[in-house]
Amino acid sequence: MSDRPLSFEIYRESSRTKARRGRLRLRHGIVDTPIFMPVGTQAAVKSLDPRDLAEIQARIILSNAYHLMIRPGSKQVAARGGLHRFMRYDGNILTDSGGFQVFSLKELRRLSDDGVEFRSHLDGSLFKMTPESLVEVQEDLGPDIAMMLDECPPAQAPHDEVAIAVERTTRWAKRNVAARRREDMAWFGIVQGGLFEDLRQGHAEAMRELPFDGFAVGGVSVGENTEEITRIVKFTAPLLPRDKPRYLMGVGTPGDLVRGVAAGIDMFDCVMPTRNARNGQLFTSNGRIVIKNAEHRESEQPVDAQCSCYTCRTFSRAYLRHLYTAGEVGYHRLATLHNLSFYLNLMAKIRSELDMDTFDAERMLREMGPAAE
């Protein structure tokens, strides 16, 4: 690998769609794209350990700088050798800055051009988050890829409100660039603009001028419907530099991933597979199942006969239902292993089809049927 913290190669483009087959080279190894990143918000993918992540071949995961800043504190992590050493994970890590928390915790924060002042969701203590302080926090954590601080307006915000957020995000991006000190971390810029194509285009043009290693499409998992997400992603992705990775933040269902790949997106993350696992919803090739339902009480079937994950190779639906209804914590691990395997296997299938230039998003969605949603 070169001295650059990130290199990205596109070696095949679909003849039917805007999909790209690529390869990321990062400090902690190669990541083939398109890829889904399991979410490990607080330096852990809930219920899993690094051996489990190796089992499902998770080459890159996501953690959240906002949460780690509050607990245990970025200085604590830095004192223990950084995030990789702290959590004993030897794959790649992307840290989200906390822009979504600026949106989701609006009752606890005060927003200004300088940054965000907010009360901790844990104990009410006062914190201030600026573009510069988030650079310092993430440089303490030492991920392979770090995200800039952005303002993420709600889905139905009016044009003038979204325009203010876009302008503020651009100013924060410039401050992010000026504040960086470490040269071994890649940084991604974030394009906002809500549901407004003129704002998306203007913001993409402004962000392209700044020295980021990749770009994300933000603000498309904050209340939009499927049609709105699809429209904005299809419009925005081609506006981003062709030779840099494109990341769609916080999206989504298996069908969203297929549609995102077709639009030219390379990277995805979403809490859906881990959250749904804990809540008893398991993804299968025939659609989602609710494991607590009585129909699974005596079933000797695996969760999904087409899945080769540890859970499906080893346990029956009846046993998983028993663990869930009994409140056994082991259920969470087995269910999470399966749901993440489903997502990662979907991405592997997409990559295989791109390798052979047979990827057809509409055909894949038809074949998936209920499994797409």
- What is d(CA 207, CA 23) in angstroms, rounded to the nearest whole number? 23
User: Is the pLDDT assigned to residue 34 strictly greater than 90?
Assistant: yes
Which tokens hold the place of 236? 């925005």
Both 21 and 153 in one domain: the answer is yes
192, part of any domain:
yes
Both 308 and 349 in one domain: the answer is yes
Of 205, 238, 270, which one is at a domain's C-terminal end?
Answer: 270
User: Is the pLDDT assigned to residue 334 strictly greater than 60?
Assistant: yes
| Mean model confidence pLDDT for the chain | 95
Both 43 and 173 in one domain: the answer is yes
Please report, for the domain that includes residue 146, its CATH number: 3.20.20.105
Of 270, 299, 333, which one is at a domain's C-terminal end?
Answer: 270
User: Is the pLDDT assigned to residue 249 strictly greater than 90?
Assistant: yes
181, part of any domain:
yes
Both 40 and 158 in one domain: the answer is yes
Helices of type H across 279-329: 310-314, 317-326
Instruction: Give yes or no for a contact between 203 and 165, defined as CB atoms under 8 angstroms apart.
Output: no
Both 18 and 111 in one domain: the answer is yes
175, part of any domain:
yes
343, part of any domain:
yes
2, part of any domain:
no
pLDDT category at 154 given cuts 50, 70, 90 is confident
Give the C-alpha distances (Å, rounded to integers) separating 164 from 13, 150, 170, 213, 306. 36, 12, 10, 25, 48
107, part of any domain:
yes
Nearest to 143 by CA among 211, 39, 66, 64: 64
Both 231 and 285 in one domain: the answer is no
Both 199 and 257 in one domain: the answer is yes
| Domain that includes residue 313, residue range | 271-373
Q: Please identify every residue annotated as catalytic.
A: 96, 269
For the segment 337-350, what is each residue's pLDDT rounded down to a tens digit?
Answer: 999 999 999 999 99
Nearest to 59 by CA among 276, 267, 278: 267
For the segment 186-220, what is each residue's pLDDT rounded down to a tens digit?
Answer: 999 999 999 999 999 999 999 999 999 999 999 99
User: Is the pLDDT assigned to residue 2 strictly greater than 70?
Assistant: no
1, part of any domain:
no
Rg over alpha carbons for the chain, rounded to the nearest Å, is: 20
Which are the contacts of 363, defined by CB distance < 8 A and separation ≥ 6?
Answer: none
Both 220 and 292 in one domain: the answer is no
- The residue ranking higher by pLDDT, 224 or 86, is 86
Both 284 and 165 in one domain: the answer is no
- pLDDT score, position 262: 98
pTM of the model: 0.97
- pLDDT score, position 102: 66
Of 247, 270, 293, which one is at a domain's C-terminal end?
Answer: 270
For the segment 156-194, what is each residue's pLDDT rounded down to a tens digit?
Answer: 899 999 999 999 999 999 999 999 999 999 999 999 999
pLDDT category at 1 given cuts 50, 70, 90 is very low
User: Is the pLDDT assigned to residue 288 strictly greater than 60?
Assistant: yes
Which tokens hold the place of 104? 């989701």
15, part of any domain:
yes
Q: What's the half-sphere exposure (Cβ side, CA atoms, 13 Å) at 321? A: 18
Both 142 and 237 in one domain: the answer is yes
Both 231 and 359 in one domain: the answer is no
- pLDDT score, position 45: 98
Both 195 and 307 in one domain: the answer is no
DSSP state of 39: B
Lowest mean pLDDT, pick from 12-16, 32-36, 80-84, 150-154: 150-154
**Tokens 């915790």 -> residue:** 105
Rounded average pLDDT over 304-317: 98
Q: Give me the number of domains the chain comprises.
A: 2
